[in-house]
Each structure stands twice: as structure tokens, then as C-alpha cells.
Structure 1
Amino acid sequence: MTITDTQPASTESPAETETVNTPATPADAGADEHDGPTVVTPGTPDPTSAAQTVGELLLADPRTLVVGVNVRRDLVLGKPFLRSIADRGVREPIIARRTADGTLVVRKGKRRTVAAVEVGRDTVPVLVEPGDPDSEIEPGELDRAGKAQRVERIIDQLEENQHRAATTDADEVHAHQQLLDLGLTAGQIARRTHVPTARVKVTAAVARSELAAAVLDRYEVTLDQAAVIAEFDDHTDAGTDAVKVLTVTAAKEPAQFEHVAQKLRDERADAALLADTVRELADQGIMIVDPEQAGTARQISGLRPTAESPSGAELTGEAHRRCPGRAASVEVRRGWDREPQLRVVHWCTDPDTHQHAARWTQVTAGGASSGSPDGSSAAGMSDEDKVQRRLVIANNKAWDSATTVRRQWLRTFLARKTPPRDALVFIAVTLGRGGHDLRRAMESGHPTACEVLGHEPVGSVYTGRPHPIAEAARTASPQRATQLALAVLLGAAEDATDRQTWRSSEAGHRAYFTALREWGYPMSPVEQLVLPDPDQPGDADQNDADATGSDADEDTGDRYSDGEHGGVAPADQGTDAIRPSSGYGESTADDGSTG
């Protein structure tokens, strides 16, 4: 078959009509931006001819083709590309030239040719250009025409790849949306386009969200970030606000994106838990109290039924059921497993009016006793104390969210085949330093190390059961064994962190977070508080002092202990975290507990 140019004869001069282009051919579904030919017939066509021959299109056995010299050295025959060739064949013709003995020498389409041979295709489309194939003669032995021909071949092979623009993530999302609209499922799209199913699920999620698709199309965000944005596009005001926050973070602080996203997830989960419980309490006629705006309200844990009741007598929830001032506050806490737990705190809106008294009789300096309800709520704090309390609550919640992100990062980091360069130094220093945290992790069977490595914890080392990390190390390569040793030590350090760490870090904490930062972990603002503040001389020494505690710290902590105060709504601090005043709240509950 001969392809000819059937356009009317050109009236331009020969110099202006040096090339004739073939019509566009369908793109190979498996070919990437480096592998599509632009067919050009060299030489000057006869301007008086109405039909110009540009090549011969035929089907050929790929095993009979000879791959000529090519600027491409690395074939990059990925599995998706090979599957595409196996399933759909070579869709874009391979460009070849014929030798004097009839052999077809591939000029462009080296990857397609080799892939077709590897997957066993019987035939491939070949466009045979006029002209001789380039030879392998040394440049110094070529005449002027030979050099010109080689220059043309090299430029030809370079240009067909270098001037191509890959499809963007937004293009892919739009295309997958069209396929979804045509009735294909995500699995069918993955099979037909030879794209991993996980990626198609991500593109489909983005395609279903108009906001996420628009953000991906307009701003410089990654596909994964767009998928997270789609996760929050639930057509609510809160969801729209979250999308705005995430979009700005992706554009201005991309390293903090995962931290902000996890914080928003936790806030959304907390809000859902709170909403259900608040609704149930309201249905029972119980007023909901905001501890930050409590006014005269007091927690019943700090009250006794009446002034005549013995000092220390408890006003129970059952005894308070008939009180007109019955109220409650609801808060979400996270324990050691970071799972959200609801806590309902019972209040009386006006203890004086309803004849209640402070649980413990207070004796004044003059010897008189007082049973008036004291300031056992947030309402009894000074403005400065309230600010500090809100700060601790916000930072504690931020720490919980950061812990989730940090452990996910550890999973990815420890799954790498190659450990960081200074891994052995970290291992040697950590083992040499030893300490209680490492010993405790060893005795408990390294539960956190198992978690981040994807193993099921086996419990105490004294059970005698085979340990999955030890079993994996037996057959591991030296590099993998180093990663496993690193996982054991990082797991022990991670297990030793809690909500207290950002306020009173110890040497082991600082060494751990310094290593994570050096290895590429994007620390959140609250995690950055663990390390010394370079703008505050002696900050590290202060951290050590804080870790030991002081009388003033303990007094302040007791003042905000769990028995006296309920939680408050978290302060919205965005991506900023602030160091609290020295000695504040070393043992507070949701507003400062270790959880």
C-alpha cells in the first residue's frame, strides 16, 4: 500500500516546501511521550506533481525488523506499556527505511518494536520512508552527504520525543470521567488503559468532585492532593471551608498538606461524634454548656447536694436529675490508641439558686467556713489562664493528628529498599545511649515497630512466640536488615512520645525528631516545638528543666486537673503552634493530658 499526498500542487518555491507531512495516525495507547513518530519525508517534492509519495504502509513481523542506530539507549519497557502492546497491539506505525537487500531498518519506534517482540505480536504496522537507513560508519569516514544524513537522523529521533507534552493529571481525570460517563467502571478503565487500579480510583474520586477537579485544573496541586480535597467536598459549609484551607495549603505550604488534612479529618470525626451525643442530650431536655462560656455554671463533680450535706459529699448525676439547672458539656478525647472517645461532663447552671454548695468546705483565714461554689470551671480562670488552656487543648489535638501522619510516614520510610546513609550511625548512637524507652519496647515486643512494619504485634517478649521482625531479619539482605534494626529503634522512640512531648521534651525525643527531620519528614508546627527554638538561647536547657517538673508546674497542673474542669472546643490555630508559658499545665486532662 502506498500513501500519497493528494493535496493540490503547491505554488511555493522548492525551498519553501522541503517536507511533506503524513496525516495524523491514531496514538498508541501504550506509547508514552517518548515514543510516537512524526513522519517526515526528506527531500524536496516536485511542486508540479499532484500526488507526492511519502511512504509505504505495511504490516510486518516485528522479528524481521532490524533496530537501527538510535539516540535512545534505555528502552524503559514498563509492565503497563508491555500489557498495552500485548492487548491492543502497536497502534502507531513504526518508521523504517529499506536497505538495498530489502531489510527494514527501524528509524523511529525502537520501544514499540522490542515490546512487540517480547509480548509475541505477529505483526506491527510499519511506515517505510523513502531514503537509505543510517549506517554505523564512524563519523570521520562519512562524506558530506553521509554526515548530513546522520545529522538528520539524530535530530529526527530527538525531536519526536523532546517536543511532546505529556498529558496532565487534569487531562487524565477529565478523560476518565468521560469513560465513567460512558458506562465503564474504574476496574474496566484500569484494565483497558493499563493504569494501576489504585490510580484510577483516585482519578475517579477527583472526577466526581467538581471542586477537586477545578482545583486540579487551575492550581499546581498533585493528583493525591486533589483526591484529599475531593474527600472533603461533601456539599456542606464545613466541607467548603476545608477545601479552601487545603487548596491554600497545597499552594503555599505543600509540606504541611498531610498534617492539615489529618487535622481536618480528626475535627470532622470529632464533630460527628459530638453532634449525635448533643442531639441525644437535647432530646432529654438537658442544656448544653460551653465550658469557655460557662457563666455561673459549675461541674457537679465540684458540688455537694446542699450546704447542710457533709463536706466532701458527692452530688451524683442521679441526684441531680430533677434539678432545673441540669446541664452537660460533651468533649472528645483520644487515648493511647488515638481512637476518639466521648466524655460527658455534668453541670449545674446556677448552683447558688438551686441550693447546692461547694463539695469541700473551705475555711477562711478568720476560721469561718464557706460552702459557696468556687471557680471550679473555666469561668473561674483568669483571661491569661484561659488563653493558655486553649493553647494546650489545641496543641494536644494537633499532636494527635501529627502522630497519625508521622506513623504513616514511618511506614513508607521503612518500606524503602535502601536505608539512609547515616542509619548505622543512628543505630550505634541509640544503642549506646540505651535508656528506659528502648528497654521497655524490647520487653513489650516492639509493638510500634511491628505496627509501622505491617506486622501483627506478638505481645511481651517473654511469651516465647517467634517475633515477626526477627523472622524477617533471618533472610533479609544487609540493607533490609539495617532497615529492620532502624525500625526497632524508631519504633521504641515513637512509642515514648505522647501529648507531653511537645511541652517537655527529653534528649531522646529531640534526637528522634532531629533524625526524622534530617531524613525528610515534614514536621508539623506542634512537632517543631520538641526541638530547641533557635531564636531562644538556652531553650534546650529549659526543655530539660521542664521535663523534671517543679512545684509551680505541679500546682498549675493540679489547678486544671481532670477532676475540676471539663474540656473545651479546640482553638483554631491553623498550621501555627505556640510555645506555652513556662510551667503551664503539666498534668491537665483533655486540656493537657497525655491521653
Structure 2
Amino acid sequence: MTQTVQPAPAPEEQATTFVEVDPSTLIVGANVRLDPRLDKDFVESIRERGVRVPIVAHRDGQGQLVVLYGQRRTVAAVQTGRPTVPVVVIAEPGEADRLIDQLAENHHRAGLTTHEDVMAFQQLAVLGVPAGAIAQRTARPKPVVEAALRVASSEVARKATERWDFLDLEQSAALAEFEGDDEAIRFLVQSAKNGGFAHQLQRLRDDRESKAQRAALVAQLTEAGIKVIEQPPMQDPKRAKLEYLKTGRRQVTEDNHKDCKGHAAYIHQEWVNEDGKRGYVWKAGYACTNYPKYGHTHRYPPGASFSDRRTLDDMTEEEVEAARAERRDVRESNKAWDSALKVRQAWLKQFAARKTPPKTAAVFIAKALASCDHQIRSAMEGSHKLARDLFGVEHETYQSGHRRGKLLADLCTTEGRATMVTLVMILAAYEENLPRDAWRRDEPGATEYLRYLQSEGYELSEVEQRARNGGKKP
């Protein structure tokens, strides 16, 4: 029942009291918090559970209740239509005391740690409350609740949240993915503390997927009765890839070599960019383990010269080490770039969901269009393929029954959204046409693109920093 507002008693008679009142009758007084900053989760919590911590107010000269502490709870209760809220009524403080107390209330308040969140969600689950119901009743997104429960079920992730308070829930859930891999856990914790977590996580996931794919391919070949060997070097005196072998004049192939006692397979990686998949995949190649013994000849027998390139035998020890270091750098940088691409495009997808553009949008758009970079022309000719993916709209063609570009144009419902759509189309154009070796090129378009992403809050990985710096290591 709504409490009827009574005239204010004389100051000497005023004492602390507790009342239940209609929140719309409360007056939100002066507050050090200039903006209540009501987030969705907080509002939904008030809608679902009401105001659980009483608001503190005093009565003014007309007997009206003026909120001292609980501005956000009051506004949220009004927005969600709560019929009553609990209010503790105290004597009106002096102006200096009000300011000091409001500062103290907001500053000396510690939120729950990730570990405390995890343990609370776990206790609810033990009590039989499903994840969906936990999310609804606590006004937290269901993916957040599910992540917390994954952390709770992982000993290493649960202990990590207890030990390191800088780990957030998403990072803690990622640790659970690598239970049993101490090195991966160490890398992730370091990245959570020092930066670059998303990139380190993606690299570890890619490495794990690559190892699993390789192991599956080896198992498949072994089950088929095919011996698996290391990839033969170019001029090995016994082992050789079938593509370099002949039997008489006939080219040796997988089909005509299957019955050879030296038939074997080797595992190697190939770069693919087709059917929506971009990156290295493991494939099987075939070789003979002793081609002279089994009657084959090599197109380039040991000692044959087929290139002007220097061999390792022609190099000094320092040159050999430099050549090997360069190859390692290329191999590792390419892998790092492939992982960074996934993180970058996931960030772009979130960025594209913004309703209003950043203040820097107009300048960047103007400079990009003035540059006449080929990436923008190429994306326009391809009907902005990646931009459509980021916005989740259908890919149109001349035969699709639409005027090409109509679906993207339909997103431009306001001036701000139109600017945002234009910005994303240009960013997607650069992203879609970034060369895989941009990390070792001096490419002005790629440089400006990555600098802009960084200015808008995207955390560049080391390999992306090289691309931003025109191929120079940071």
C-alpha cells in the first residue's frame, strides 16, 4: 500500500523511519552523480526483483520525500512501473554533509569480484535453478550465466578467478577451454594482465584446431595402412615426393604408386581461400621412401643445379642463421596474421552494430574517398561483400531481383546511422582487401586503416602493429 505523505515534523521531533512509497512521488534531489547511467541489466533487475536496498531520503518543508542516496534505484523503479519502493527517512543533512556522504556512498563501494559472481551462480545451479532462470531472475545475459557456470565446473578457471582479481568472466571462461594445458593457461593469464588477450586466445585456439586437424589426418592415413613420414627435402638421395619421380618416361602418381613398397604419405600445410575458408589447412602429399631401390628416377637428382638461389652450403654460419630466422619470422607472422584476422573481424562486427558514428567518422570517410585506394574500388565492384556480412544483410546480385545496394541503403534510417553505414563500408573495404603479408609491406591504405581501428579502441596485436608501421617491427 502506498504511504500517504504527512507534513514534516519539527526538526527536534524528526527521527529515522521506514516507509513504502510510490517511487513516482519521490523527488530526486541534488546528487554528485550527474547522470544515473542506467544500464539494461540494472533496469531489468529492478523490474524483476524490485528495489531490495532501501532508498534514503529526507522530508522537505512541504513534507515531500527528497532522495539523498538511491538516485539510480528511484529512476529505474519509476521506469519499470514498480508500485512501491522501500525508503528510510532521515533528518535533512547539511549541504556539506550531503556532498561528503554521497561521495562516500559511491566511491567506497566494492562490486563483486568475478570469483564471487561465479560461486553465486554455481550455488543457484546446485539449488536446481536452470541457467535461463538464473539469467532472468538476476537480469544478467544468459551467455554470462553460462560462462560463469563453465568457470565453476573448471578447477583451473575457478582457482584462477580466486587468485587473480584482474580476470573478467569472459577471460576466466576461456581458461576453462585449456584445462590441462599449463603453458596455454600461463600465456592467457599474462595476456589478461598485460594486454592482447583476445589475440593470444585466438592464436591458441587456431593452434589447437591445427594440431587436431593434423592428428586426424595422420590417423586417417594410418588406418588406411599408409606409412606417414616427414616431408622429404628436395634432393634427398633416397626419399622424394612423387611429383619429382618418373618410372621410365611415366610420371609417378599416387594411383600408380600405391603398390610400391616405398609408398608413403607426408603431411604439409597449404594456404586456401575458398568456400568461405581462409587460412592454412593440413593436406596429405605422397612420396617414395627409397626411389632408387624401387626403380624410380628423380627429375632433379642430388647435385643437379636448377636454381640460381644460394644453398645452405654456400652460406656462412651467420647467413644460415639469418635465413632460418627469416623463414621462422615469415611462418610465425603469417600464423599470427591469420589469428588476428578473426579477432579484428569480430570487433568490426560489434562496431558495425553502433547506432551513432564516432566523432572521427566524417574526417576518415572524406580522407578515404579522396585517396582513391584500390581497396574501396574493389569492394564497390564486389557489392561490399564483407560489409554485408558485418551487417548481416543478404548478398545482392544483378539477378537477385533488387536494385544492387538497396539492402544496405535501407539501413540508413537516420543521418547518424547513414554515416555509420558509410564508415563501416569503407572499413570493410580495407579489411576485405588486406593482403596476407600486409605485416611486411609499406601499404598506406592498410596503415591508415589499422591506425583508425586502434584510435577507436581496437587493440592491435604485434603483427598488426607491424602492418600499421609500414612493415617495421614495433
* TM-score relative to the length of structure 1: 0.66
Identity percentage over the alignment? 38
Counterpart check, 1:176 vs 2:121? yes
Q: Which amino acid aligns with 1:527?
A: E
RMSD: 3.6
Alignment of 1:177-326 (within 5 A): 177-219=122-164, 220-233=166-179, 235=180, 239-252=181-194, 254=195, 256-291=196-231, 296-305=238-247, 309-310=248-249, 313-326=250-263
C-alpha distance after superposition, 1:424-460 (max 9, x if no partner):
3333333233254333322221112222233232246
CA contact (8 A) 1:62 1:121 kept: yes
Structure 1 equivalent of residue 362 of structure 2: 424
| Cα contact 2:394–2:407 (8 A) shared by 1 | no
**Residues 304, 162 of structure 1: alpha-carbon distance in 2 compared, 3 angstrom cutoff:** same
- Shift, 1:301, TM fit: 0.7
Give me the whole-angstrom Cα distance separating, in 1, the residues matched to 2:178 and 2:106.
39
Match of residue 429 from structure 2: 492
| Structure 1 unmatched ranges of 5 or more | 1-41, 44-52, 135-148, 361-370, 534-538, 541-576, 579-595
1:515-594 correspondence to structure 2 within 5 Å: 515-532=452-469
The structural deviation recorded for 1:249 is: 2.1
Name which of 458, 480, 485 aligns with 2:396: 458
Deviations 1:316-354 (A, max 9, x none): 112211222222112344422316644211011222232
Answer whether contact 1:303 1:315 (CA < 8 A) is retained: yes
Q: Provide, for residues 32-89 of structure 1, a one-character-per-residue CA deviation record: whole Å limited to 9, x for no partner.
A: xxxxxxxxxx99xxxxxxxxx9744444454555555555543444443343334333
Contact 2:383/2:404, CA 8 A, preserved across alignment? no
Q: Distance in 2 between matches of 1:210 and 1:485?
A: 47
Q: Is the CA contact (8 Å cut-off) linking 2:411 and 2:421 kept in structure 1?
A: yes
Q: Is the 8 A contact 2:178 2:184 kept in 1?
A: yes
Contact 1:357 1:372 in 2 (8 A): no
**Which runs of structure 2 are paired with 1:346-495 in the superposition (5 Å)?**
346-359=286-299, 382=312, 387-459=325-397, 465-468=403-406, 470-472=408-410, 474-477=412-415, 479-495=416-432
Distance 1:418 1:284, change over 3 A: same
In terms of fraction of residues, the more helix-rich structure is 2
Task: Write the distance in 2 (CA, Å) between the matches of 1:415 and 1:212.
Answer: 31
Letter in 2 for 1:242: A
Q: What is the CA-CA distance between 1:302 and the residue it aligns to? A: 0.8
Specify the alignment match of 1:501 in structure 2. Answer: 438
Instruction: Pick closer, same or farther for the CA change 1:462–1:93 going to 2, 3 Å.
Output: closer
Contact 1:202 1:227 in 2 (8 A): yes
**CA contact under 8 A between 2:49 and 2:137: conserved in structure 1?**
no
Does the CA contact (< 8 Å) of 2:232 and 2:241 recur in 1?
no
Q: 1:345 aligns with which of 273, 285, 290?
A: 285
> Is the counterpart of residue 133 in structure 1 residue 92 in structure 2?
yes
- Aligned residues of 1:173 and 1:204 also touching (Cα < 8 A): yes
For residues 167 and 232 of structure 2, the distance between their equivalents in structure 1, rounded to whole angstroms, comes to 38
Residue 338 of structure 1 aligns to a residue in which SS?
strand
The letter for the 1-side match of 2:268 is: E
CA distance in 2, matches of 1:524, 1:248: 14
Letter in 2 for 1:218: R
Within 5 Å, give how 1:146-161 maps onto structure 2.
149-161=94-106
Q: Is the 8 A contact 2:27 2:66 kept in 1?
A: yes
Please list the CA deviations of residues 88-145 of structure 1 after superposition, one character each: whole Å capped at 9, or x if unmatched: 333233444567886655544444445444444444434444xx435xxxxxxxxxxx
Matches of 1:429 and 1:112, distance apart in 2:
46
Going from structure 1 to structure 2, the CA distance change for 1:103 and 1:413 (only over 3 Å counts) comes to closer
| Structure 2: distance between partners of 1:425 and 1:76 | 29
Distance 1:430 1:461 in 2: 30
State the AA in 2 paired with 1:454: G
Distance in 2, Cα, partners of 1:260 & 1:530? 18
Residue identity opposite 2:169 in structure 1 = L
Cα distance between partner residues in 2 of 1:461 and 1:434: 28
Distance (Å, rounded) in 1 between the aligned partners of 2:59 and 2:400: 75
Q: Tell me: CA distance 1:462–1:386, structure 2 relative to 1, closer, same or farther (3 Å).
A: farther
Counterpart amino acid of residue 458 in structure 1: E
Letter in 1 for 2:51: V
8 Å Cα contact 1:447/1:458 also seen in 2:
no
- Rate the CA distance shift 1:318–1:207 in 2: closer, same or farther, 3 A: same
Residues 29, 66 of structure 2: 8 Å contact kept? yes
Structure 2 residue runs without a partner (length 5+): 1-10, 313-319
Measured against aligned partners, the alpha-carbon deviations of 1:146-192 in whole angstroms (never above 9, x if no partner) come to: xxx44444434443333221112222112112212222222111111
Question: What is the CA–CA distance in structure 2 between the aligned matches of 1:415 and 1:343, rounded to whole Å?
Answer: 38
CA distance in 2 between partners of 1:285 and 1:205 (Å) = 40
Q: Deviations over 1:368-407 (max 9, x none)?
A: xxx569699xxx9635555544443332222211211221
CA contact (8 A) 1:444 1:459 kept: no
For 2:339, the aligned partner's letter is: S
Counterpart AA for 1:492: A
Counterpart of 1:187, as a letter, is G
Alpha-carbon distance in 2 for matches of 1:359, 1:459: 48
1:397–1:381: structure 2 CA closer, same or farther, 3 Å change rule?
farther
* Residue 303 of structure 1: how far off its partner (Å): 0.9
For the structure 1 residues 113 and 458, does the alpha-carbon distance in structure 2 shift closer, same or farther, using more than 3 Å as the test?
closer
Q: How far did residue 499 of structure 1 move?
A: 2.4
**Which residue in the other structure is 2:49 paired with?**
88
Q: 1:62 to 1:474 in 2, by over 3 A?
A: closer
Q: What TM-score, normalized by structure 2, do the two folds share?
A: 0.81
- 1:513 aligned partner: 450
After superposition, the Cα gap between the structure-2 partners of 1:391 and 1:315, relative to the gap in structure 1 and judged at 3 Å, is farther
Q: Distance in 2 between matches of 1:269 and 1:375?
A: 39
Q: What one-letter code is carried by the residue in structure 2 that aligns with 1:240? A: D
Q: Secondary structure at the match of 2:256?
A: coil
